[in-house]
A and B are shown apart, each in its own frame.
Chain A
Amino acid sequence: MTTLTVPRGPATLTQVIGNSLTMAWRGLLRMRRTPEQFGDVLLQPVLFTLMFTYIFGGAIAGGVKSYLPFFVPGILVQSVVTTSVVTGVQLREDMDKGVFDRFRSMPIARAAPLAGALLADTIRYAIATLMTFLTGFVIGWRPQSGITGVILAGVLVIACSWAVSWIFALFGVLARTAATVQGVSFLLLFPLTFLSNAFVPARTLPGWLQGFVAVNPVSHLVTAARELTSTGGTGPDVWWALLGAAATVVVLAPLTVRAYMRKA
């Protein structure tokens, strides 16, 4: 029989990272076994990009071609951030299963089952990102910054969505059912994504709304993605977006893990 030396004392950072990566790998194995779960991230970005481009393009930018550079980064943020809701919903479903009892009774880093699940979901964000860019490209989007800027914008949006997914993970841990998670999450998400500069230029909005749009973290992320895909430059918005993401994780990850541990 194999003898096992399980580390003593509280989890070290190495253990947290190791355990989280193992849990992420578990998430990937699950995804491979249930490919139908990718339906939403494959189709929704295509649908939304096409729909909004042809509906709003003429009205907002005088044509599809001139709307795309403005709109693709916006719909990218909207699509990918929306995808992070699914993280919370699936976490709730996953946690209802007995296997989470085992994780909780094992000598592993407490944060790992959550961090791993969230980490694995970045694959979903990457697919949604790729689908949005591809759809945009097919209907005529030609990013000025070239491939590097596009990749950087994609990575930024994925990283920020991962941070945002901790919010929905917290809902997932606290809520009783997956449907509740979905409902509450969309209540939060719709104002955040729509009351931003993702679809229309902020200057066209009434003054009081401009105030909200200006402080909405989604706006900063959209602006950052726009800069990266057009000029390829990084203005202050990139840093605001990253700072907001980091703050979200720092505040919400411990809260979520605590709620998760208390929940029996």
Chain B
Amino acid sequence: MSSGTTLAVETAGLVKTFGETRAVDGVDLSVAAGTVYGVLGPNGAGKTTTIRVLATLLRPDAGTALVFGHDVVHEAPAVRRLIGLTGQVASVDETLSATENLVVFARLLGLNRAAARRRAAGLLDEFGLADAAKRPVAKFSGGMRRQLDLAASLIATPALIFLDEPTTGLDPRTRAQMWQTIRRLAGAGSTVLLTTQYLDEADQLADRVAVIDRGTVVAEGTPDELKASAGQSSLQLRLADPGQTPHAREAIMAVLAVDAIPSPEGGRITAPMDEPDRVADLLVALRDRGIRLAELSVHKPTLDQVFLAITGHETEPQDDREEEEEAVA
């Protein structure tokens, strides 16, 4: 059903303020139908607020947001028929069992008792929760809760699924399971809009990514384009003698053909590096020049580095902003 030109989400100049805080400050997004779109940013960047506006839970203060062409403010009922929301806080009822939760949601969506039970059983099976069907959700692990939460969003097979930080706080194994599930959804033709703090996750799942910082989109593109801006990996060196920094940078330029960035703390140098195996060549070059190292490490680019590359500043913990959001909300 999705053609390349259909937009699942289209926002222009979206603004949402909480008191003095401009949580979302002119966000422009366009998400093609049938794709997985990642919104990447640190805590408090405005990711959750953006999703809440798109899911008709918050009214924007300015700008427009369309979901499959329907305005989220003026055509909210139409929008609600097209979306499934899996929030950051588990949006299921802790006191009820997994089955009861799904049956309640299915009944609300208009399924009769028998159909609701069938749908609940089918989804629990699909998400590997059949054994835990009768247990109260309060006894579920974090990962199981997310899975159930996601299952609950899929009862009406929505065309657009919002996943707000679907893997934050999950252990690696559960995270991998969640990725699997998201890929399956995408494979089935759903549009998925997910937020994440992890570059790795956006890279693994998303067709396109928007990097969001302080309420605005600071970069947009495919994960490859994004990573290119920060380098595939980065090499970090600490020199035994900080005085040799210029020589070391020359060596790096000669071997890797990149400009290394000296850090303010003495003797530290960071260099973007596309091929981690070339580190051996560099080590040889450094030894030949008599530059002694105190420490060496190769890092995959982190969100911080993407940020540094794109915005010129580090990701700052902006927890107070998030808290304010909670309080006002």
Contact = CB atoms under 8 A, between A and B. Distances in A.
B36 to A, nearest CB: 20
A29 B94 CA distance: 12
A6 interface: yes
A30 interface: yes
B81 A26 contact: no
Contacts of A7: 110
A34 to B, nearest CB: 6
Contacts of B90: 98-99
Contact of B89 (A5, A9, A101, A103): A101
Nearest to B96: A29
B108 A22 contact: yes
A62 B120 CA distance: 62
The contact size tier of chain A is 20 to 34
Given A102-B152, A105-B85, A6 B110 contact: yes
B81 A107 contact: yes
B95 A106 contact: no
Contacts of A105: 55-57, 80, 83, 85
B96 A106 contact: no
Contacts of B41: none
A103 B87 CA distance: 12
A104 B72 CA distance: 13
Question: Which of the listed residues A5, A10, A97 has the most CB atoms from chain B within 10 Å of its own CB?
Answer: A97
A18 B77 CA distance: 17
Contacts of A102: 85, 87, 91-92, 105, 152-153
Interface string A1-36: 111111111100001001100110110011001100
A120 to B, nearest CB: 12
A91 interface: no
Interface string B49-79: 0001001111100000000000000000100
Contacts of B115: 2
A79 to B, nearest CB: 26
A108 interface: yes
A101 B91 contact: yes
Contact of A106 (B109, B118, B119): B109
Interface string B148-189: 000011011100000000000000000000000000000000
A10 B74 CA distance: 12
Contacts of A97: 89, 93-94
B107 interface: yes
5 contacts: A9-B77, A30-B93, A97-B89, A264-B52, A264-B57
Interface of B: 52, 55-59, 77, 80-81, 83, 85, 87-96, 100, 104-105, 107-111, 115, 118-119, 122, 136, 152-153, 155-157, 329
